[in-house]
């Protein structure tokens, strides 16, 4: 018999709209739900602002829809759990946030998301698309999935879209962020899909998989449990091989929990990540530790680095206020 | 006929879930179930004079309800396949052929997929070819041929390495498993054929 | 054979100091670790400020030590996992944060914590102690445990200690907050203790326990799984029976995840809590949804309400910046 | 003798973990292990001329390393029990009696506990009484009496409803399980007795 997840829901088929209601409420008046679709928008988008739309499948809370707010995204389109939002949802959200200066679509590099966002982009509003491809576990960059590093990209894009006058400029700055973000993840056990209650993959009790994707897509290798330090060292090797950092360069760090991994484990991993960076002479501009991009109750974590310079730091340092990440 | 299709596809939820769990993210079953439930509601809610209207409505229902890759892909098949169906009142062999051939073309354009990428195209393409060849035969024969071609195409995806969709990062590990969308394609055609067989008895 | 937890650690006996290193780093320069003890303090405590010290066992991250910072606590004393900090740790922390105006000790009502904090309080610095007793599942108020509502108390105490001139005033305001905070929790499955890898209690696959404490202390009753709405309704009944709210009264809400419960489940619960409050004519001043007070990877959540008036809202509304909770 | 005690208590980690899991939070075993490891380090690190210094150092090591309720409680027993030990060079029966009687008093004051609250006091109190009565007997007899009294006291906690510490909210559900701290108290005395027996052979 398949082991089923133990969770509290009402009707598992209604998780997305019910969650969205609770989420909009948890924004305490700063966002509103859009009528008839699973999408939301800030209530106070200034006229003439370049708009930023993010989105993807649900089940990764607080990503993506937890990152709408001041100096963050203007709206989010929500799909069902692990499924891209449909074009009509994306289009409604696009219309709701457009202020005449065009809309940047920023989301992860998944076939389903691309197909749906692209179809919505054909409806007349000026749209530019940037894909997050931060997962170094997937070979060449075109193949790379968007994982937790996406949150760093949203941070920069949000700052840029709040400050810069044209869609072109926002695209330019966000592209620079994307080029400098790398992530790698590790999974200990899977999260489950509410509608079926089934876990999306199986790992033996003493096995971990390095590089596994946020829906259970295959990683680079499986191995027996290792210590935090050994594991972090290997993960950092992957990142630093792909984006070698010179002594004196600066990075922002995100240690992201996959869902049920404790803050204690994340903080111990953070400690080691910072040690490795220090050994390499790399300066840490800021480190963030939390479960920002989850896969339901999956266990595991990811390390994301964003190499920053003065321009990227300017946007990174802006205060933000959203459900999933607030900073001042 | 489409109502029977909806029922059948909703019934296959678990088969498709398991197929997608093997090489994808496990949501294809509930996605298709949600989609064909939406199609059923659309069909029950309106009356459709012409075949192309019916298929267009079904396609739109899939696009706006399934989500993920397959909503667009299967919706595009249903919608895009109506290009040359104007005027057709019911599904006959020439209409089946047109629907599959034009649907396939629309899917390939939208999905930027070629045969061998381990997608539903690998089931739809042989099915379309078979239906084209059988365009002069009775509908049940044409459907039988298309279904069998889709099945063989679906079986062949087991030997392919995925290069599209969520399975693409699996590489070699996707070998041995059929593509979930190809399984759906086969099951859709099989349901239509079954219905024709049953109603022909 | 006992089922062991699957987690990533280095040496499980070193989790607290290693975690503390990672935590201090994640404060990005705003707190420092104290030499030789598992305690930390803000780097910028103003002279003449009434000091606020919080603490307790580790394993509840981000509580308590994640709540040090601007307009929050001035320092935290950390025990081992689920064990009160020892008097020497508390005393070091007290000395480090004392600025001549006395120190408020604010922590949960547990025998171990009381014994240790009391012993530290005997060392000459002016100390006042307030215990959090928000858990309505424990009968009379003297028996009540301190659970997630503690975070609301820290918020108010932090604001009061940043603003008010005397320890007496800070005690008065914080006491008012404490009198108006009520919580109740539910558990689905247990968290584990790193050193043994063992889970602290067992529940059947289809059982939940209402009122269970944050270390697995017994609750009010066990029952079969129910829907979110049914469960929330029962939990709210407990709270509202203990603290009846009049139409027009105002509350702050905290929906707290126990560790591995998804944000999705918490948000769906939040939706229902707000519906119940609306039905009762109670206004929500703000709702917070997150895993602020965890029990390692325990699954479950708690609902906390704090009845507020203008005075409490003044402190609640102050911006805060800490690892576990930031607001502006 | 204390080194043997440390070894033994570290060896009992699992017994105490299980006892605390039943009615507490499961950390009593690792807490005591950590504590007696600290005592061991302290003993190995210094030389102690008098018995009271030794017990004070051990008590302080427990207080600053165990954490939780039991660090203070057991540390207070060891430390508080030295009140009338000044001058004693080794543990003999009168010293044992003084240590337990004064330790008990200190624990009760610090912990605000009375007998019947289902704590270690329910094992320490009968042990102290037994040692007092046996103050004139040889040490091994006095320790045997104290150990047996502690065991009976510990057994009796099974029939008590907890009203202190983490178990207090359990109410009736704490029935049938011994108090973990009472188990520790018994094991501490038993280790001392064992050591005396062995070294007396
Ligand atoms: N670009 C594409 N062209 C054609 N079919 C595709 C494409 N991408 C994905 N598919 C089909 O969609 C199926 C996956 O559907 P589903 O699991 O519902 O979506 P997702 O991959 O978003 O979870 C694949 O098995 C494949 O047949
Ligand atoms: N007030 C008290 N007086 C005497 N003994 C106490 C008191 N509180 C707790 N204890 C003892 O401490 C034991 C629990 O120790 P431990 O599990 O290490 O601490 P915690 O309860 O903090 O997890 C109890 O079994 C009891 O014997
Ligand atoms: Mg999907
Ligand atoms: Mg899928
Ligand atoms: Mg404890
Ligand atoms: Mg304990």
Distances (CA, A) of C96 to C21, C102, C164, C175: 18, 12, 20, 24
Nearest CB to C193; choose among D27, D72, D173: D27
What is the Å distance from ligand 2's center to D114 Cα?
A: 13
What digits encode the pLDDT tens for the residues A249-270?
Answer: 999 999 999 999 999 999 999 9
Residue A176's pLDDT band (boundaries 50, 70, 90)? very high
- Are A286 and A263 in contact, with CB atoms under 8 Å apart? no
Q: Tell me which chain D residues have a C-beta less than 8 angstroms from the C-beta of C298.
A: none
> Which helix (H) or strand (E) covers residue C157, if one does?
helix C149-163
pLDDT in tens, A108-163: 999 999 999 999 999 999 999 999 999 999 989 999 999 999 999 999 999 999 99
Closest C-alpha residue for ligand 1 atom 1: B111
Question: What confidence score (pLDDT) does residue B171 get?
Answer: 66
Q: What is the mean pLDDT of residues C189-208?
A: 92
E strand intervals along A99-245: 103-108, 127-132, 181-189, 207-210, 221-224
pLDDT band with cut points at 50, 70 and 90 for residue A17: very high
Q: Which residues of D touch C83 (CB under 8 A)?
A: 27, 31, 66-68, 71
Neighbours of chain A (3+ CB pairs under 8 A): B, C
Give chain B as a DSSP string: -HHHHHHHHHHTHHHHHHHHHHHS-S-HHHHHHHHHHHHHHHHHH---SSHHHHHHHHHHHHHHHT-HHHHHHHHHHHHHTTTT-TT--S--HHHHHHHHHHHHHHHHHHHT--TTSSSTHHHHHHHHHHHHHTTTS-HHHHHHHHHHHHHHHHHHGGGSPP-SGGGGGGGGGGTTS--HHHHHHHHHHHHHHHHHHHHH-
Rounded to whole angstroms, how far apart are CA atoms A90 and A88? 5
The span from the CA of C285 to the CA of C270, in Å, is 14
From the alpha carbon of C82, which atom of ligand 2 is closest?
23
Domains contained in chain D, number: 1
The per-residue pLDDT for D169 is 60
Please identify, in words, the CATH class of the domain defined by C14-179.
alpha beta
Residue B201 has pLDDT above 80, yes or no: no
Q: Whose CA is nearest to atom 12 of ligand 1?
A: B70
Question: Ligand 2 within 6 A of D88 CB?
Answer: no
* pLDDT for the residue A313: 98
Distance in Å, CA B108 to ligand 2 centroid: 70
Tell me, rounded to whole angstroms, the distance of Cα C168 from its chain centroid.
Answer: 22
Q: Which residue matches tokens 């624990």? A: D107
Give the angle subtended at the CA of A259 by the CAs of A187 and C16, to the nearest 5°: 85
**Residue D164 in this model has a pLDDT that exceeds 80:** no
Is A290:A148 a contact under the CB 8 Å cutoff?
no
Q: Which of C110, B173, C14 is nearest to A211 (CA)?
A: B173
Considering chain A, tell me which residue range(s) the CATH 3.40.50.10440 domain(s) occupy.
14-179
Whether residue A82 lies within 8 A of chain B, CB to CB, comes out as yes
Question: What's the start-to-end Cα distance of chain A, in Å?
Answer: 49
**Confidence band of D168 (pLDDT split at 50, 70, 90):** low
Residue nearest to atom 24 of ligand 1 (CA): B181
Q: Which two tokens stand for residue B34?
A: 């949600």
CA dist C261 and C258 (Å) reads 6
Q: In which band, very low, low, confident or very high, does the pLDDT at D173 lie, cut at 50, 70 and 90?
A: confident
pLDDT tens digits, one per residue of C275-292: 999 999 999 999 999 999
Tokens of D123: 């094992």
Q: Give the confidence band of A166 by pLDDT, cuts at 50, 70, 90.
A: very high
Q: Which residues does residue C264 pair with via DSSP β-bridges, in sequence order? A: none
Q: Which ipTM was obtained for this model?
A: 0.93
Q: Is residue B170 over pLDDT 80?
A: no
pLDDT at C63 over 60: yes
| Residues C53 and C97: beta-carbon distance below 8 Å | yes
| Parts of chain C belonging to CATH 3.30.1180.20 | 181-318
A285 is catalytic: no
Partner-chain contact B68 A87, CB within 8 Å: no
Element (H, E) at C128: strand C127-132
Q: Count CB-CB contacts under 10 A for residue D109.
A: 11
Asked if residues A266 and A226 have their Cβ atoms less than 8 Å apart, the reply is no
Q: How confident is the model at residue C2 (pLDDT cuts 50, 70, 90)?
A: low
For testing contact with chain C, the best of D25, D113, D118 (most C CBs within 10 A)? D25
Does the beta carbon of D166 sit less than 6 angstroms from any atom of ligand 2? yes
CA D99 to chain centre: 11
Summarised one tens digit per residue, pLDDT across range B16-59 is 999 998 888 888 999 999 999 999 999 998 888 899 999 999 99
Q: What percent of chain B has pLDDT over 90?
A: 78
Task: Name the 3-class secondary structure at B108.
Answer: helix
Q: Examine the pLDDT at A223 and tell me if it is beyond 70.
A: yes
Select the residue of A193, A201, A218 nearest B27 (Cβ to Cβ): A193
**Phi, psi dihedral angles at A196 (to 5 degrees):** -105, -20
Interface contact A79-B66, CB threshold 8 A = no
Fold of domain C181-318 = Hypothetical Protein Tm841; Chain: A;domain 3 (3.30.1180)
DSSP B166-180: GGGGGGGGGTTS--H
Q: For residue D26, give the nearest of C215, C9, C56 by alpha carbon.
A: C215
CB-side exposure of B23: number of CA atoms within 13 Å? 28
Measure CB to CB from residue D67 to each of C83, C111, C215 and give the nearest one.
C83
How many Å is the Cα radius of gyration of chain C?
Answer: 19
Query: What sign results for the dihedral spanned by CA atoms A309, A62, A265, A189?
Result: negative
Distance from CA of B185 to the nearest CA of A (A): 17
Residue among A76, A86, A85, A80 at smallest CA distance from A13: A80
Interface check for C104 against chain D (CB to CB < 8 A): the answer is no
Best mutation target, D15, D29, D68, to test chain C (most C CBs within 10 A): D68
Taking CB atoms and an 8 Å cutoff, what residues of chain A touch B26?
82, 193, 196, 198, 200, 215-216
Label residue B167 by pLDDT band (50, 70, 90): low
Q: Are D27 and D68 in contact (CB under 8 A)?
A: yes
Among A308-322, C144-158, C191-205, name the one with the lowest average pLDDT.
C191-205
Ligand 5 centroid–CA A296 distance in Å is 30
User: Where does ligand 1 bind, in terms of residues with CB under 6 Å?
Assistant: A 83-84, 111-112; B 20, 24-25, 27-28, 31, 68-70, 73, 107, 111, 113, 119-121, 164-166, 179-182
Cα–Cα distance measured from residue A184 to residue A195, given in angstroms and rounded to the nearest whole number: 28
Active-site residue A98, yes or no? no
Question: Which residues constitute the domain of residue B17?
Answer: 2-199
Report yes or no: C112 at the D interface, CB cutoff 8 Å: yes
Q: How far, in Å, CA of A158 to CA of A156, rounded?
A: 5
Neighbours of B, requiring at least 3 CB pairs below 8 Å, are A
| Residue that has been written with the tokens 């506990």 in this structure | D113
Q: Each residue of B97-131: pLDDT tens digit?
A: 999 999 999 999 999 999 999 999 999 999 999 99
- The phi, psi pair for D136, rounded to 5°, reads -95, -10
Residue percentage of chain D with pLDDT more than 70 = 96
Looking at residue D22, its pLDDT comes to: 87
Cβ <8 Å between B30 and A195: yes
Average pLDDT, chain A: 97
Q: Is the CB of D69 inside a 6 Å radius of any atom of ligand 2?
A: yes
Indicate if the pLDDT at residue A72 is higher than 70: yes
The C-alpha atoms of residue C260 and residue C222 are separated, in whole angstroms, by: 20
Residue D172 has pLDDT above 80, yes or no: no
pLDDT reported for residue C200: 87
Is the CB of residue C120 less than 8 Å away from at least one CB of chain D? Answer: no
Confidence at residue D89, expressed as pLDDT on a 0 to 100 scale: 87
pLDDT band at A218 (very low <50, low <70, confident <90, very high): confident
CA of A266 to the centre of ligand 3 (A): 27
Burial class, C281, CB count within 10 angstroms (exposed 0-12 / middle 13-18 / buried 19+): exposed
Residue pLDDT, tens place only, C205-215: 999 999 999 99
The per-residue pLDDT for B26 is: 83
pLDDT at residue number B136: 96
- List the single residue in C26, C229, C266 with the smallest CB-CB distance to A287: C26
Cα separation, A322 vs A313, in Å, equals 19
Please answer whether residues D36 and D12 qualify as being in contact, where contact means their C-beta atoms are separated by less than 8 angstroms: no
Find the closest chain A residue to C4 by CA distance.
A205
Residue A73, pLDDT score: 98
Cβ contact D31–C80 (<8 Å): yes
A205 CA to centre of ligand 5 in angstroms? 27
> Given pLDDT bands bounded at 50, 70 and 90, which one contains residue C264?
very high
| Distance (Å, whole) CA D104 – CA A83 | 65
Residue with tokens 């993506």: A64
């Amino acid at each position: 018999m398949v082991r089923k997840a133990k969770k509290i829901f009402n009707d598992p088929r209604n998780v997305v709209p019910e969650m969205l209601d609770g989420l909009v409420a948890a924004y305490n008046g700063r966002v509103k739900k859009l009528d008839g679709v699973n999408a939301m928008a800030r209530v106070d988008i200034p006229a003439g602002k370049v708009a930023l739309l993010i989105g993807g499948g649900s089940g990764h809370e607080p990503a993506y829809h937890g990152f709408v707010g001041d100096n963050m995204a203007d709206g989010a389109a929500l799909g069902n759990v692990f499924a891209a939002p449909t074009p009509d949802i994306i289009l409604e959200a696009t219309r709701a946030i457009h202020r005449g200066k065009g809309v940047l679509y920023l989301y992860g590099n998944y076939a389903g998301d691309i197909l749906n966002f692209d179809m919505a982009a054909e409806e007349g509003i000026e749209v530019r698309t940037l894909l997050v491809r931060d997962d170094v576990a997937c070979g060449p960059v075109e193949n790379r999935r968007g994982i937790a590093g996406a949150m760093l990209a949203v941070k920069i894009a949000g700052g840029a879209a709040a400050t810069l006058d044209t869609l072109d400029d926002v695209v330019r700055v966000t592209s620079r962020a994307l080029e400098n973000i790398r992530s790698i993840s590790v999974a200990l056990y899977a999260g489950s899909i509410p509608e079926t209650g089934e876990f999306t993959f199986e790992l033996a009790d003493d096995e971990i998989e390095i590089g596994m994707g946020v829906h259970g897509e295959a990683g680079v290798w499986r191995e027996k449990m290792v210590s935090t330090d050994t594991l972090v060292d290997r993960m950092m090797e992957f990142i630093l091989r792909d984006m070698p950092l010179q002594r004196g360069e600066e990075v922002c760090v995100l240690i992201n929990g996959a869902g049920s991994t404790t803050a204690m484990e994340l903080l111990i991993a953070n400690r080691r990540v910072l040690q490795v960076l220090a050994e390499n002479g790399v300066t840490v501009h800021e480190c963030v530790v939390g479960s920002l991009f989850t896969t339901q109750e999956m266990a595991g974590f990811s390390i994301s680095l964003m190499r920053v310079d003065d321009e990227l730091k300017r946007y990174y340092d802006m205060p933000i206020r959203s459900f999933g990440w607030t900073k001042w | 006929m489409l109502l029977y299709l909806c029922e059948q596809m909703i019934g296959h939820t678990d088969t498709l879930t398991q197929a997608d769990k093997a090489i994808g993210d496990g949501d294809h079953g509930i996605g298709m179930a949600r989609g064909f439930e939406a199609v059923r509601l659309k069909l029950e809610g309106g009356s459709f004079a012409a075949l192309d209207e019916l298929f267009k409505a079904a396609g739109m229902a899939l696009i706006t309800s399934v989500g993920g890759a397959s909503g667009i892909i299967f919706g595009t098949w249903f919608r895009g396949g109506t290009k040359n169906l104007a005027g057709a009142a019911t599904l006959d062999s020439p209409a089946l052929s047109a629907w599959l051939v034009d649907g396939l073309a629309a899917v390939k354009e939208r999905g930027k997929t070629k045969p061998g990428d381990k997608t539903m195209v690998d089931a739809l393409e042989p099915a379309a070819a078979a239906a084209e060849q059988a365009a002069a035969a009775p509908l049940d024969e044409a459907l039988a041929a298309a279904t069998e071609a889709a099945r063989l195409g679906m079986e062949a995806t087991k030997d392919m390495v995925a290069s599209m969709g969520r399975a693409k990062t699996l590489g070699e590990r996707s070998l041995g498993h059929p593509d979930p969308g190809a399984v759906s394609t086969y099951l859709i055609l099989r349901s239509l054929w079954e219905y024709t067989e049953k109603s022909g008895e």
